Amino acid sequence: MFTYVLRRLVQSFIVLLIVMLITFTLPYFEPNGILAPAYIVLGSHISPHAVHVWGVQNGMFHPYYVRFWNYLDQVFIHFNLGVSYKQNLSVWGIISLYVPRTIWLALSSLILTVVIAIPLGIYQASRRNSVVDYVATGTAFILYGIPAFLLGILMLQFFSFSWTHLPAQPPDGVAPWAMFTNPLGFILPVMTLTLLSIAFLSRFMRSAVLEVLVQDYVRTAKAKGCSSRQVLFRHSFRNALGPIVIILGLYLPGLLGGAVVIESVFNYSGLGIQLVTAATSLDVPTVLGITLLVSILTLLGNLLADIMLGIVNPRIRVEGSGR
Amino acid sequence: MVEPLLDIKDLDVRFSTSEGETRAIRGINLSLNPREVLGIVGESGSGKSVTALAVMGLLAKNANVTGSIHMGDRELLGMKDRQLSSIRGLKIGMIFQDPLTSLNPVYSVGWQVEEAISAHQDLSKEKRRAEAIRLLELVGIPRADDRVDDYPHEFSGGMRQRVVIAIAMANNPQIILADEPTTALDVTVQAQVLEALQVAIDQSHASLVLITHDLGVVAGLASRVVVMYAGRIVEIGTADAIFYSPAMPYTHGLLGSIPRVDDDGGARLRQIPGSPPSMIGTQPGCPFAPRCPLRKDICLTEEPALRSVSSTTGTEAHQAACHFASDVVTMPLASMFPDTSDDHEEPPQ
């Protein structure tokens, strides 16, 4: 098991380097190349001389490979993600400021999703083609089809203006604990995010269980005299967990970047908005830093999913892992 | 006359499919006596497996089952799932065709045997485990106490089928239904699995229903044989009667298509021409008539009932569904179907 994880970590690191190389290279394709941010940082009417000075200050005239090497050195040796071009903050400062806010939003909706979608999917599969199944399927399709921003706006319309008067916006404030000053404000964004992911995950759970229910070993379990509850939970659920574990693993990076639309609808400044703003204002160090974080989470999510899969399914357990 | 363990009357199974209604079982009557081995043979689609699944109440939801299946004084048909699960595994154990898929891949084999025990018996954890190991040893799993925690994918096909047999016999059922237990296995492993099956019925004093298309398997174990064709029972009798004086042309055909070790090696296998009829809708007459070499006009218009064969063999329980059963029973074996080897390598005279 240890060598397996080690091998996977080395592989992940290589993937990470490739991702960094790509994101590092992309700014070269801007109209003014890597000097483009100067016009945004200093203003669009600055003299070519000022641009040149900015370029020298930021080491833009070194050869491409030297710049990449320096960036790697800065990140991996000095654990320094650089300083934002736009904000008077280090990139690490921006991340540590907004990550807790985003995680709070995304994690609470993820937990709600898992708690609701998995039992719902199992129930739908066990009562296939019943009224409940049809209603849940229809609702899921509608929610799945609605763009996130539209659902957010509808939620605001109904729950904040028409029917009830829930706060339309979570409390904003730079301090991480500011978000706890008015928990009611989180109901709408969390609900929107949760509804969207339930629509998605419950469909997966339903089809995963349905696929398992027709397997021969389920028939064997019935022939043994297992009750339908035992058949469903012992034999179907455990086997259906595989695909769900993978999906949840892939969902992990989405915790940080995926809530962008919801964040902007509910005017909640989290990491997603920071990434989008940084990208549109050519704040390259911030984009690189957040991308790096999301990549690490993606790779970790995959690794975790694979390890979990081995726990759920003994056939996938790696050699040398013991029993 | 002994009271039968299982009494199937006028069993009819229809499946509604998109192409129409499929009549998989067309009114069969069958009883199973205590401690007997009943072989059910027939080709694919003849309704062998459907009969077994109907007894277990394990047919798909689109199946429409009518008739009656009595076990003792209890009617199994139409029983609620909850009541059925108190019979499944306890009174009737079942063994399935494909051992590679009939065990749950995520639980150890010992766990799966223990689950079968705990479904019907209240045993302590240690006793249950000891019982599981005992069962696995009985069916011939070497070093069972070592392998009890292994997973199905660590077992070979034959070993897995033994585990399935151990599960079926776990609660000493009165009946074990074995649905093609050796079909998916290597020929060399088949004999070992049949041996495990024999151990299972000896230990639990159960009756065995052995469903197969392999007449060789039936010949070794069964005392009574049922031949099914197109959802009907076309012949039933003692193994001797079926093998030595079959009274139905289809049975003749089946026997003629088995390779024999005692011929000179030159004879070709005789095949039954044509294929079984469609199970959708009903054709008049005998279902085997289109393929039958003895076909007369009456065969195409009137379906023969299952009648006792008045024969020289003198076994009153020998019944066949053929208008000419009393003629067929006197015919020599394997002479009825044409030898198809003519158009192959016949040496020039």
CB-CB: which of B93, B106, B116 is closest to A314? B106
Instruction: Find the residue in A nearest to B177 (Cα).
Output: A223
CA distance B27 to chain A (A): 24
A187-213 vs A148-155: helix axis angle to the nearest 10? Answer: 130
Contacts of B164 in chain A (CB under 8 A): 220
CB-CB: which of A219, A313, A314 is closest to B58? A219
CB-CB: which of A220, A238, A323 is closest to B149? A323
Whether residue A234 and residue B115 make contact (CB cut-off 8 A), yes or no, is yes
Whether residue B98 and residue A216 make contact (CB cut-off 8 A), yes or no, is yes
In this prediction, residue A223 carries a pLDDT of 93
CATH number (3.40.50.300, 3.40.50.720, 3.20.20.220, 3.30.70.3400) of B6-40+59-222 reads 3.40.50.300
What integer is the mean pLDDT of B197-207? 91
Whether residue A219 and residue B102 make contact (CB cut-off 8 A), yes or no, is yes
Domain ranges of chain B: 6-40+59-222, 228-259+284-339
CB-CB: which of B85, B93, B106 is closest to A239? B106
CB-CB: which of B86, B93, B103 is closest to A217? B103
Compute the mean pLDDT over every residue in chain B, rounded to the nearest whole number: 87
In this prediction, residue A258 carries a pLDDT of 61
Whether residue B94 and residue A221 make contact (CB cut-off 8 A), yes or no, is no
How many Å apart are CA A269 and CA A172, to the nearest integer?
7
Interface probe for B, chosen from A133, A217, A227 (most Cβ of B below 10 Å), is A217
In this prediction, residue A257 carries a pLDDT of 65
Whether residue A228 and residue B115 make contact (CB cut-off 8 A), yes or no, is no
Whether residue A219 and residue B104 make contact (CB cut-off 8 A), yes or no, is no
Whether residue A217 and residue B120 make contact (CB cut-off 8 A), yes or no, is no
How many Å apart are CA A59 and CA A146, to the nearest integer?
46
Looking only at Cα atoms, what is the longest distance across chain B? Answer: 77
CATH architecture of A91-316: Orthogonal Bundle (1.10)
Contacts of A227 in chain B (CB under 8 A): 82, 85
CA distance A14 to chain B (A): 33
For residue B164, the 8-state DSSP code is H
CB pairs under 8 A between A and B: 79
Cβ within 8 Å of residue A78, ≥6 positions away: none
Whether residue A223 and residue B88 make contact (CB cut-off 8 A), yes or no, is yes
Whether residue A223 and residue B86 make contact (CB cut-off 8 A), yes or no, is no
Residue B285 has pLDDT above 60, yes or no: yes
How many Å apart are CA A166 and CA A293, to the nearest integer?
33
The residue among A258 and B188 whose pLDDT is bigger is B188
- Bridge-based pairing state of the strands B307-308 and B92-95: unpaired
- CB-based burial, B60-77: b 16+ in 10 Å, e otherwise: eeebebebebbbeeeebb
Whether residue A225 and residue B87 make contact (CB cut-off 8 A), yes or no, is yes
Whether residue A313 and residue B106 make contact (CB cut-off 8 A), yes or no, is yes
Contacts of B86 in chain A (CB under 8 A): 225
Each residue's pLDDT expressed in tens, for chain A with a length of 323 residues = 778 888 889 999 999 999 999 999 998 888 888 888 888 888 888 888 988 998 888 888 889 999 999 999 989 888 888 888 888 889 998 888 888 888 888 888 889 999 999 999 999 998 888 999 999 999 999 998 998 889 999 998 888 888 877 777 777 665 656 666 777 888 888 899 899 889 989 999 999 999 998 899 999 999 999 998 899 988 988 888 888 888 888 877 776 666 788 888 888 888 888 888 888 888 899 999 999 998 998 898 888 888 888 888 777 765 544 43
**Cα A30 from chain centre:** 27
In this prediction, residue B345 carries a pLDDT of 46
Domain ranges of chain A: 2-77, 91-316
Predicted confidence (pLDDT) per residue in B71-125, tens digit: 988 899 988 888 999 999 999 999 998 888 999 999 999 999 999 999 999 999 9
Long-range pairs for A133-137 at CB < 8 Å and ≥24 separation? Answer: A133/A206, A136/A202, A137/A203, A137/A206
- Strand ranges (DSSP E) for chain B? 6-17, 20-32, 37-41, 63-71, 74-75, 92-95, 175-179, 207-212, 224-229, 232-238, 307-308, 319-320
In this prediction, residue B62 carries a pLDDT of 86
CB-CB: which of B85, B151, B164 is closest to A226? B85
Assign B227 to helix, strand or coil: strand
Chain A positions touching chain B (beta carbons under 8 Å): 215-217, 219-228, 230, 234-235, 238-239, 312-315, 323
A131-145 vs A91-126: helix axis angle to the nearest 10? Answer: 150
Residues B268 and B345 sit within 8 Å (Cβ to Cβ): no
SS3 annotation, chain A: CHHHHHHHHHHHHHHHHHHHHHHHHHHHHCCCHHHHHHHHHHCCCCCHHHHHHHHHHCCCCCCHHHHHHHHHHHHHHCCCCCECCCCCCEHHHHHHHHHHHHHHHHHHHHHHHHHHHHHHHHHHHHCCCCHHHHHHHHHHHHHHHCCHHHHHHHHHHHHHHHCCCCCCCCCCCCCHHHHHCCHHHHHHHHHHHHHHHHHHHHHHHHHHHHHHHCCHHHHHHHHHCCCHHHHHHHHHHHHHHHHHHHHHHHHHHHHHHCCHHHHHHCCCCCHHHHHHHHHHCCCHHHHHHHHHHHHHHHHHHHHHHHHHHHHHCHHHCCCCCCC
- CB-based burial, A25-48: b 16+ in 10 Å, e otherwise: eebeeeeeebbbbbbebeeeeeee
Interface probe for B, chosen from A211, A220, A236, A319 (most Cβ of B below 10 Å), is A220
Here the ipTM equals 0.86
Looking only at Cα atoms, what is the longest distance across chain A? Answer: 85
Chain B positions touching chain A (beta carbons under 8 Å): 56, 58, 81-82, 85-90, 93-94, 96, 98, 101-107, 115-116, 119-120, 149, 151, 153, 164, 167-168, 170-171
What integer is the mean pLDDT of B151-170? 93
Interface probe for A, chosen from B86, B104, B115 (most Cβ of A below 10 Å), is B104
CA distance B62 to chain A (A): 13
The residue among B31 and A41 whose pLDDT is bigger is B31
Instruction: Find the residue in B nearest to A229 (Cα).
Output: B82
**Cα B101 from chain centre:** 19
Query: What torsion, rounded to 10 degrees, do the Cα atoms A179, A183, A188, A194 define?
Result: 80
CB-CB: which of B106, B116, B153 is closest to A224? B116
Assign B27 to helix, strand or coil: strand
pLDDT band for B334, please (50, 70, 90 cuts): low
pLDDT band for B148, please (50, 70, 90 cuts): very high
Whether residue A323 and residue B86 make contact (CB cut-off 8 A), yes or no, is no
